[in-house]
Amino acid sequence: MKLLTDEKLDIMIYDSSDWAGKNLRFSWVTGGKFYKLFRSVEHHSGFTSWAEALKWILQVEPNKKINSIQFWGHGSPGRVWINGEALSARSVLATSEHRNLLLKLKQRLVPESTVWFRSCNVFTGQEGHLFAKMISKMLECKIASHTYIVGPWQSGLHTIKPDEEPTWDIDEGIYDNKKMISMPWSPNTIFCLTGKIPEGW
């Protein structure tokens, strides 16, 4: 099927499993409805596995390219989680299903697309740097995520493009060996309902 490059979708996915926790799951579901209401995304849905989520994205209006994907869910350095299952540089190398689905997803993306993991600490530390570099190169587009624990405020927001090196310090979001909570005055901070990444971040 021919892809229509002049029409692009904005999509949001989130962890809808019990593992995510009742309160956070409610926040992510509500966020998806808010974004759809204000036309920040055309489609949103929750999932209990990465395979389920990636397969759904691939079948959503398959004649259109994808402008952006946001994932709302738990994160840790170099990992994003659905129902206790990590998507990481290591899982992509070890799990053929993850790798094959991401390679199919790449065909729906363009170099200007953004995949944004709105999750805690994903870009933190060496694991965060590795994840950022590997996923951006694999999907051949811009990848975004955070170095701080995120909530209503979401700090340490950075982006990386294929073949770039991370521009943020490897220990950003860490103080005295502890993960830092996002604050309005922390670096590169947005509010949770902000739908766009500021230029230059």
pLDDT in tens, 90-137: 988 887 899 999 999 999 999 999 999 999 999 999 999 999 999 999
- Percent share of the chain, pLDDT over 90: 85
Q: Is the pLDDT at 2 greater than 90, yes or no?
A: no
DSSP 8-state code for residue 19: G
Angle between helices 96-106 and 125-139 (to 10 degrees): 50
As a whole number of angstroms, the distance between CA 52 and CA 116 comes to 18
- pLDDT band of residue 37 (cuts 50, 70, 90) is confident
Above 90 in pLDDT, residue 50?
yes
- pLDDT in the model for residue 11: 97
Q: Centre a 10 Å sphere on the Cβ of residue 115 and count the other Cβ atoms it contains.
A: 22
Question: What pLDDT was estimated at residue 40?
Answer: 87
How does residue 150 score in pLDDT terms, banded at 50, 70 and 90? very high
Order of strands, sheet of 43-47, starting from the edge strand that comes earlier in the sequence: 43-47, 4-15, 64-72, 109-118, 142-145, 158-160
**Cα–chain-centroid distance for residue 8?**
18
CA angle 174, 170, 200 (to 5 degrees): 105
pLDDT tens for residues 11-31?
Answer: 999 999 999 999 999 999 998
What integer best gives the mean pLDDT of the chain? Answer: 94
DSSP, residue by residue, 64-88 = EEEEEEEEES-EETTEEEETTEEEE
- Position 93 scores a pLDDT of 85
CB 33 within 8 A of CB 91: no
- Please report which confidence band the pLDDT of residue 38 belongs to, taking 50, 70 and 90 as the band edges: confident
The band of 4, judged by pLDDT with boundaries at 50, 70 and 90, is low
Q: Which of 138, 102, 144, 151 is CA-nearest to residue 123?
A: 144
Phi, psi torsion values for 48, nearest 5 degrees: -115, 10
